[in-house]
Amino acid sequence: MGDESFHSSSPAQQYQAIKSPALRSYLPGEGFDYAAMVYKAKSKKKPEAKLQSQLTLFKDGKEYFKGKTEEVGQPGMEKLGGIPIAKSLFFHNEMDPGFYVLQLTVTDRENRKKSDAAVQTLDFTIRRKKEAELSPDQMSQ
């Protein structure tokens, strides 16, 4: 390959390379889908645990947004070996640029012990809209 560096052949391909979900870098007004799997969710009193999930966003280490608590559906999920949770997150057009962490917390509402909460996190960045107009070479300068 030598000293050649990879460059997309069109601006659309360059933008797609910057927008890749693997990079976890988004613009205000965009969003992404996320999923998690809850394993070994059991209740001592009932055949199914009464699970609920809550999304919290942190920006630069401080709580930025806390979503409402939502019930996690379970009917027929025992065959999967776990309970899937799949959601979408969309950013408003005025979202501030910066480093964010999405935290998904799942708890059993029948069991009030905090230690029984399952937590999954995902970090991502919100870029300024002007950055979308730059080529990858300009962004690294």
The residue ranges of every structural domain in the chain are 27-139
Rg of the chain over all Cα atoms, to the nearest angstrom: 20
Nearest-angstrom CA–CA distance, 66 and 111: 21
Q: Model pTM greater than 0.75?
A: no
Summarize pLDDT for 24-81 with one digit per residue, the tens.
Answer: 888 898 988 888 888 877 665 665 668 899 999 999 889 999 999 998 876 666 566 7
For the domain covering 27-139, report its CATH number. Answer: 2.60.40.2550
Check residue 56 and give its pLDDT. Answer: 96
Element (H, E) at 25: strand 25-26
Q: Could you tell me which residues are beta bridge partners of residue 22?
A: none
pLDDT in tens, 83-125: 888 888 899 898 899 999 999 999 887 776 656 788 999 999 9
Query: What's the CA gap between 89 and 102, in Å, rounded?
Result: 10
Handedness of CA 19, 25, 29, 35 (dihedral sign): positive
